[in-house]
Chain A
Amino acid sequence: MQTVIFLICAVGAVAAGIAVFRVDSMARATLALLASFIFAAAPILLLGLSYLGMLVILMMVMEMMIMAVFMVMYMMNPAGLMPMKMVHNNKMSLVIAVAVFVLLAAGVLFTPWPSGTAEAAVPGSTTAAGRSAADPTLALGLDLMGPHMLVMIVIGLALFATMVAVVVLSTHRGRYDRFGDDLQRRPADDPVRGGLGK
């Protein structure tokens, strides 16, 4: 049963992923990407990683909704009204992608993976096998707040740096544009007059 679900989700994830670059509307591409993410998160849930699987699903639903707005902003072919070629170097990209897949698949199929654990580790029996903690989410939380605290610190710092950088990059006119490099210019150098006292 779980294998069937896995296979359906795997085929669905890859098919939706291919559809992202095949549909002619970028809004549809966003929804196809969302479908691909949800299909790909289902196998993660099957592995017993309920927290990380749900995290991927929830994050991706929100991210794709935000992405849809950006898609509309930067759409190349709005509503299919302006048919145009959205790809460059298509043939070579296809060749490289297929070659990489064949290479990775060969590595997957011909590497002697540790088979004993794979047999024992059917979902639901991880606790019975006694090899994993009772709750993977609890184990993850304890690990992040303990031995892997550095990872959490770096992630937090990187996210904070991202917030600052994103605001700086996307601000149209900051205070240095308005008040000069020493912030002393009065009145502010605005393209349109207006506001209080002007």
Chain B
Amino acid sequence: MTLQLFLLLAAALFAVGLYGLLSQQSIVMILMGLELAINGIIVAAAAFWFFAASGRPDGQVLVLVAISAMAIEMAMGFAITTAIFRARDVDMADSASDLAG
């Protein structure tokens, strides 16, 4: 186990999540892509904590922040999905393009 292997895993998770974020139509599937990407950040932060500065707990705090971001993102995403589905019967990102430039 080296730092490079961990970071490669994190990069792969992030890239897979990014693909899902960009390609999926359903809002719920986009949320899953976001979760995968944040999971990559968690792995990377844990690896940095261990290999670079395991004497101090700062890396762990970063992991905790990423986990909280994940929970908040999921809750808010589902609430917004519910709200927009109720208002307009929309569950796809393509139909919610009000802010498209």
Q: Which A residues are within 8 Å of any B CB, using their own CB?
A: 2-3, 6-7, 10, 13-14, 17-18, 20-21, 26, 29-30, 33, 36-37, 40, 43-44, 46-49, 52, 55-56, 59, 63, 67, 70-71, 74, 76, 85-90, 92-94, 96-98, 100-101, 104-105, 108-109, 113-114, 117-118, 121-123, 126, 131-133, 136, 139-140, 142-144, 148, 151, 155, 158-159, 162-163, 165-166, 169-170, 172
**Complex-state Cα separation, A108 to B6, whole angstroms:** 9
Q: Is B52 an interface residue (CB 8 A)?
A: yes
Q: Which of B26, B49, B57, B85 has the most CB of A within 10 A?
A: B57
**Complex-state Cα separation, A52 to B43, whole angstroms:** 11
- Across the interface, which residues of B come within 8 angstroms of A108, CB to CB? 4, 7-8, 11
| Pairs A–B under 8 Å by Cβ, sample size 24 | A17-B16, A17-B17, A20-B20, A20-B36, A21-B19, A33-B36, A40-B42, A43-B47, A55-B67, A89-B22, A89-B23, A94-B19, A96-B18, A100-B15, A104-B14, A104-B15, A118-B2, A118-B3, A121-B51, A123-B1, A142-B57, A148-B61, A170-B78, A170-B79
Contact A155 B68 (CB under 8 A): yes
- Across the interface, which residues of B come within 8 angstroms of A101, CB to CB? 11-12, 14-15
Q: Which of under 10, 10 to 19, 20 to 34, or 35 or more describes the interface residues of B? A: 35 or more
**Complex-state Cα separation, A96 to B15, whole angstroms:** 9
- Give the distance to chain A from B7, nearest Cβ to Cβ, in Å: 4
Residue of B nearest to A151 (CB): B61
Contact B57 A139 (CB under 8 A): yes
Contact B23 A113 (CB under 8 A): no
- Give the distance to chain B from A63, nearest Cβ to Cβ, in Å: 6
Q: Is B96 an interface residue (CB 8 A)?
A: no
**Complex-state Cα separation, A118 to B71, whole angstroms:** 31
| Given A76-B91, A100-B15, A136-B57, 7 further pairs, Cβ under 8 A | A37-B39, A105-B8, A133-B57, A136-B54, A148-B58, A162-B75, A166-B76
- Across the interface, which residues of A come within 8 angstroms of B91, CB to CB? 74, 76
Q: Is the interface of B mostly helix, strand, loop or mixed?
A: helix
- Give the distance to chain A from B10, nearest Cβ to Cβ, in Å: 8
- A21-B67 contact, Cβ under 8 Å, with A14-B9, A14-B12, A101-B12: no
Residue from B4, B15, B43 in contact with A109 in the complex, judged by beta carbons closer than 8 Å:
B4
